[in-house]
Homo-oligomer: A and B are copies of this chain.
Amino acid sequence: MAGKRVNRSAAQLAEARALWRAAESRPRDRERKREAVILTAARAFRERGYHNTSLDDIAGELKVTKPTIYHYVQNKEQLLFECFSAGLKQIIEGLEEIRGADGPARERLEYVITRYAEAITSDFGWCMVQAENQDLSPTMSGKVQALKSQIDQGLRRLIKEGQLDGSIRKCDPKMTAFALAGALNWIAYWYRADEALSAQEIARRFIDLFDLGLRPR
């Protein structure tokens, strides 16, 4: 729910903590504060990992204490869940945007790949990929699985459509979707914001590779 509304820009909320320092704390700030908590958590998780990050750590970074966090979020698990879905929903948005659009499916797939790369390089990229069902209660885990499955199905559908309209070669849609998702998800492991390449440039190279393959034409 808070997903797409969570601020994506690093610089914009980098000093989110100022929100609390500002004396004129208006009631409408609540939602923004909540988002700041989630964003801070996402970054902490990415840097130190979920289990190596205490709520005191997160609170500390916001110059606040633990109970304050519990005022915006039910528990640590929910914090992880929010990070999770914030990222996944960006990808799903990309899939829905081009659902049923015109043009060869391969080109639509390429658009999704770019959006995917952008999401993975965002602050929520790490959580999206690395955080495991293992750390979520069955309920939460189920919701995350559903979102992931939605993405997987979306990719497979695009591949199948491409095989029908002739823009994609005959190949196993399931394995192809897995390979594609794997390559993209893995970005979260090696990408750092100071990296030479932007998400778009990475996406372009991946598209080139998956499009044409390794063997010379």
Taking CB atoms and an 8 Å cut-off, the chain A residues in 190-217 that contact chain B are 190, 197, 202, 205-206, 208-217
Give the CA-CA distance A217 to B166 in the complex, in Å. Answer: 11
Q: Contact check: which of B109, B190, B216 meets A178 at CB < 8 Å? A: B190
If A52-B135, A211-B213, A212-B213 touch, whether A178 touches B169 (CB-CB below 8 Å) is no
If A106-B214, A210-B213, A213-B210 touch, whether A205 touches B171 (CB-CB below 8 Å) is yes
Is the beta-carbon distance between B162 and A175 smaller than 8 angstroms? no
Q: Which residues of B contact A190 (CB under 8 A)?
A: 178
Taking CB atoms and an 8 Å cut-off, the chain A residues in 61-104 that contact chain B are none
Q: Which residues of B contact A166 (CB under 8 A)?
A: 216
Pick from A159, A166, A217 the residue with the most CB of B within 10 Å: A217
Tell me the nearest residue of chain B to A206, going by C-beta: B179
Is the beta-carbon distance between B214 and A168 smaller than 8 angstroms? yes
- Sorted nearest first, the 5 A-B pairs with minimum C-beta distance are A182-B186, A213-B213, A49-B134, A179-B183, A51-B51
Asked if A132 is at the interface (CB within 8 A of a chain B CB), the reply is yes
Q: List 30 A-B contacts (CB under 8 A).
A: A48-B134, A51-B135, A109-B214, A130-B130, A162-B214, A168-B215, A169-B212, A169-B213, A171-B209, A171-B214, A175-B206, A176-B205, A176-B214, A178-B190, A179-B206, A179-B209, A179-B210, A182-B183, A183-B183, A183-B186, A185-B186, A209-B210, A209-B213, A210-B214, A211-B213, A212-B215, A213-B213, A213-B214, A213-B215, A217-B217
Asked if A187 is at the interface (CB within 8 A of a chain B CB), the reply is yes
Give the CA-CA distance A185 to B189 in the complex, in Å. Answer: 11
Query: Smallest CB–CB gap between A92 and chain B, Å?
Result: 18
Give the CA-CA distance A83 to B17 in the complex, in Å. Answer: 40
Asked if A150 is at the interface (CB within 8 A of a chain B CB), the reply is no
